[in-house]
Structure 1
């Protein structure tokens, strides 16, 4: 089930850094035109110019905060106004909060749900029908290793990623015979500044941490083979599989015991996956 990238157009949310940036670089090298979406217009324009010069692909920039109501509709309209047909949608933008739920700001948790879930669903709703009409298309949704278990102190984040995983697999089953590929990517820790933003470190996780480029390579490999999900990294795969062997209540207690504790209550970190991030605050 080979996938031909050259000459097609990909839309990447959270494209200015981290996993989104790695997707942009990998796809431009494969000859895909790009629509780059994030809040930082200056950073996006620098990236767009660099990729156009290096690979000769068309690069469009849309600076937008996808956590705001109606943002997905605004983005879809911008795509339509520019006469673009999106062949590959990468829903990468997202962020995570950390700390006791009762100490989190309700407004921040709402933004987390809006970005991680509502914007992803809304944008998929608007860009999926044209793909079906053409009989071909692809969607990559960034879920997380956190999607497999409830996680204390990251209750909202883990729940949003569980939604992304379930939603993606349902779409895969629903549309796989109509030319649409859907992949949920479930990374564990990624070598970005997620832990630094939270005020802690990645110590104790050396075997789990992947580079953004590794996550992207695994994602595209799964896309090319028509898979519904991928967990990059062998140890992460084993951790995901192990969640099937224990009761969810026990799994939640164990997961909570492995999380870093040295963090200010109510802190948050940007992420394109489980425990991963980019330097720019989300949405990116």
Structure 2
């Protein structure tokens, strides 16, 4: 059966909704008529987004300012979600670090695992029983093409996204007969618009323009893929080619090449 249609008591949840793909997913879900719970750390940004979605699409938008890297705060949010009628979960929040693990702040690396791994796992565990009981629901997990192969100087991020990719695809096999759709989004680099050359970040300067994917397009094809219960959505022809290549090229060859690029992203 399809992902549940919008209804007055159901909510679609979007984590990391304050920017980039998360914001685009919230907008696209609202455009499709879904009432929302949006979450991120920056409450003022969420409130601004919520006001815009209410005005533009006439949907209900609940704001939850939560640091999902904080286990205690995450537990409170998960306890709420377990009691709600959650029709769609977009587990999108994530963060990345660049550079050799030995040179990075251990506390920040642990926070990255908390957010990218346990932030996904705990929220899925919170909403999944209700979806299975209702025999309807959709779970979209933001993985990454970075989770397909080893990436020196981006090791923690790549490993966490490998978890997101594999967990989502494994879960999909478990619930496919229960009416619950599970899709992993595995894009390359995404952005909303072409930045001013004078204001480009190091990441934007190092990655060629043709490799970037538009966030609005990413959100649309991701939710379309979830509706069709696709296992994996890889937006853009270039990302598809990169994803395919990572599955066939020897890791011993790919890792040093990619690692050299990510070493520059770490400032070396």
The reply to whether TM is greater than 0.5 is: yes
Cα RMSD for the two superposed structures: 2.1
Aligned match of 1:70: 72
2:249 counterpart SS class: coil
Aligned match of 2:29: 27
2:36 counterpart SS class: strand
Question: Which of the pair has the greater relative contact order for Cα pairs under 8 Å at 6+ separation?
Answer: 1
**Conservation of the 8 A alpha-carbon contact between 1:186 and 1:229:** yes
1:90 counterpart SS class: strand
**Conservation of the 8 A alpha-carbon contact between 1:198 and 1:263:** no
Aligned match of 1:206: 209
2: CA distance, partners of 1:9 / 1:245 = 40
- In the TM superposition, residue 78 of structure 1 has moved relative to its aligned partner by 3.4
Task: Give structure 1 stretches of 5+ with no counterpart.
Answer: 266-284
CA spacing shift, 1:179–1:202, aligned 2, 3 Å = farther
Aligned match of 1:272: none
**Conservation of the 8 A alpha-carbon contact between 1:152 and 1:256:** yes
Aligned match of 1:282: none
Alignment partner of 1:226 out of 229, 236, 251? 229
1:243 aligns with 2:235: no
- In the TM superposition, residue 256 of structure 1 has moved relative to its aligned partner by 1.7
Bigger helix fraction: 2
**Conservation of the 8 A alpha-carbon contact between 2:98 and 2:265:** no
2: CA distance, partners of 1:207 / 1:156 = 26
Q: What TM-score does the superposition give when structure 2 sets the normalisation length?
A: 0.91
**Conservation of the 8 A alpha-carbon contact between 1:73 and 1:126:** no
- In the TM superposition, residue 164 of structure 1 has moved relative to its aligned partner by 0.3
The size of the alignment, in residue pairs, is: 262
Aligned match of 2:167: 167
- In the TM superposition, residue 225 of structure 1 has moved relative to its aligned partner by 1.3
2:184 counterpart SS class: strand
CA spacing shift, 1:79–1:226, aligned 2, 3 Å = closer
Task: Give structure 2 stretches of 5+ with no counterpart.
Answer: none
- In the TM superposition, residue 69 of structure 1 has moved relative to its aligned partner by 1.5
2: CA distance, partners of 1:150 / 1:39 = 29
Residue by residue over 1:43-83, the C-alpha shift from the partner in whole angstroms, topping out at 9 and shown as x without a partner, is 11121122112211111011111001133321123346xx6
Alignment of 1:184-203 (within 5 A): 184-191=184-191, 199-203=202-206
Alignment partner of 1:49 out of 36, 48, 51? 51
2: CA distance, partners of 1:173 / 1:262 = 36
1:254 aligns with 2:260: no
Aligned match of 1:58: 60
Aligned match of 1:99: 99
Q: What TM-score does the superposition give when structure 1 sets the normalisation length?
A: 0.86
